[in-house]
Amino acid sequence: MGSLAAASASAATANLPSVPDAREVARQVREEFLHAWSGYKRFAWGYDEVRPVSGTPKNFFLPNHSFGLSIIEVLDTLYVMELDEELSRCVAWLRARLDFDVDGDVQMFEAVIRMVAGLLSGYYATGERFLLSAAIDLADRLLPCFTKSPSGAPYRYVNLRSGAVSKPEINLAEIGSNVLEFGDLSRLTGDRKYVTASLAAYEAVIAKKSTLDLLGTTFDVEKAAFIGNDDVAPDEPADSFYEYLWGGWQMLAIERCRDWWTTLTTAMLAHKVTRVGGRLWFKSVDFRTGLPTGDASITELSSFYAELVAKGGYRAVGEAFYDSWTAVLDRYELIPEVIFYPDLSVIDPRYWMRPEYPNAAFDLWFLTRNEKYRRTAYRYFRALRDRCRVAGGYTVLADVRTRPMRQGDYFPAYAFSENFKYLYLMFADSPRFDGRRYYLNTEGKVMRGLRTA
């Protein structure tokens, strides 16, 4: 494994751009973040998201109601970038407008990782108690997904006003990406109902693992059984299930999370690693037999796993997987949604402002202090600025293969919480962030590591 990692590292760092002084890179990233933020304020203030090319707003959860998603997502980014006037403006809007008593069905997973987590990290940054109260209120409205389930694994949707639940077929990521937020709420409130719900959801699916210690991908919470046999991990839609198991141990010291993560990761490395053309990837398999399934496709969302498996003690695997994705960056400048990994050809050419590759660079930098991760992250940043910047902010790309790259008209709120924050903190030496002791959730919210005066 060591020779593979070294060979791929050498290839992946060839022809990388020189990196300016770290403080200068941080200044550039902050400037570009402000350009994206100004587009949101100009065209979509108070709405969930922005279409920066047409200059129009967009809602995310419900078509006719805004929760101010971008405002919630941006809170801790504004804090670590020391943009205190902007932060105060966001806090004032949330104090006046935020309301979760809405007659509408929302996706539990997205509400937890984006809004519950965003409100918690905003509370840690500002000390504003109403943000914590709002996080508790929202979590209580989401809990019926868990408490009304016969298996303990959550339903996918809940009506925030009535508590009615729907959609019993749900994927692993949506089942298991809540222990960080719910665990923190139990710690802050003294009420264990939140973390108890998270752990019961884990138990429901892990009880159904195969004799190989692998899991399926989609689960029926009413039948307490997997639907189909495909195990696509660490790719979506299983990805953050494993991320949160590790976080449950690292951030919350839950020993069961550590033990589950160790068992499942050992099996994944035994049955799912594949090497093609000197690069390391993860194949889809039948979770009962370990035999390959699928078409050797993989999505950009899986690239986060490089940092996770490295932090978990398998550093050579993580570094090699990161280098595989850097080869994709080398070819296309920005990473398309889906590739065919044997030859790196494109299956889905969109670049949707996905943050997983810079997320991996961020965590691997703080883990190793290897300058390779800053160099590759800076290359990503330059391509982001060159290809996605528009007059009204930043936008997604419809096709990374065309020259010029064909642009879309959408800026996802998660990019306020993730892409720019990862890049900034790699270079800024922010006095408001502790790079020696931190934990971020899957949506880039700083759950541990904020320094306050």
- pLDDT tens, residue by residue, 113-143: 999 999 999 999 999 999 999 999 999 999 9
The whole domain housing 305 covers: 2-448
Q: H or E stretch including 394?
A: strand 393-394
**Domain-located, residue 453:** no
CATH of residue 136? 1.50.10.10
Query: Each residue of 249-281: pLDDT tens digit?
Result: 999 999 999 999 999 999 999 999 999 999 999
453 pLDDT tier (thresholds 50, 70, 90)? confident
What does the pLDDT read at residue 18?
82
Percent of the chain residues past pLDDT 70, beyond the cut: 96
Cis peptide, bond prior to residue 144, ω within 30 of zero: no
**Domain-located, residue 243:** yes
Q: Residue 11 pLDDT more than 60?
A: no
* Average pLDDT along the chain: 96
Q: H or E stretch including 51?
A: strand 49-51
**Domain-located, residue 421:** yes
16 pLDDT tier (thresholds 50, 70, 90)? low
**Domain-located, residue 249:** yes
Q: Residue 5 pLDDT more than 70?
A: no
What does the pLDDT read at residue 403?
95
- Least Cα distance to 329 among 293, 354, 362 occurs for 354
Q: Residue 160 pLDDT more than 70?
A: yes
This model's pTM is above 0.85:
yes
What does the pLDDT read at residue 17?
63
Four-residue CA torsion sign, 298, 8, 271, 206: negative
Question: Domain total for the chain?
Answer: 1
Query: Each residue of 287-329: pLDDT tens digit?
Result: 999 999 989 999 999 999 999 999 999 999 999 999 999 999 9
What does the pLDDT read at residue 361?
98
Query: Each residue of 393-406: pLDDT tens digit?
Result: 999 999 999 999 99
**Domain-located, residue 60:** yes
What does the pLDDT read at residue 294?
83
**Dist CA 236 CA 153 (whole Å):** 18
- Count CB-CB contacts under 10 A for residue 81: 25
Q: Residue 12 pLDDT more than 70?
A: no
Query: How far apart, in Å, are the Cα atoms of 274 and each of 194, 277, 323?
Result: 38, 10, 14
What does the pLDDT read at residue 134?
98
**Domain-located, residue 199:** yes
Q: What is the mean pLDDT of residues 64-89?
A: 98
DSSP code string of 10-30? HHHTTTPPP---HHHHHHHHH
**Domain-located, residue 425:** yes
Query: Each residue of 165-200: pLDDT tens digit?
Result: 999 999 999 999 999 999 999 999 999 999 999 999
**Domain-located, residue 42:** yes
1 pLDDT tier (thresholds 50, 70, 90)? very low
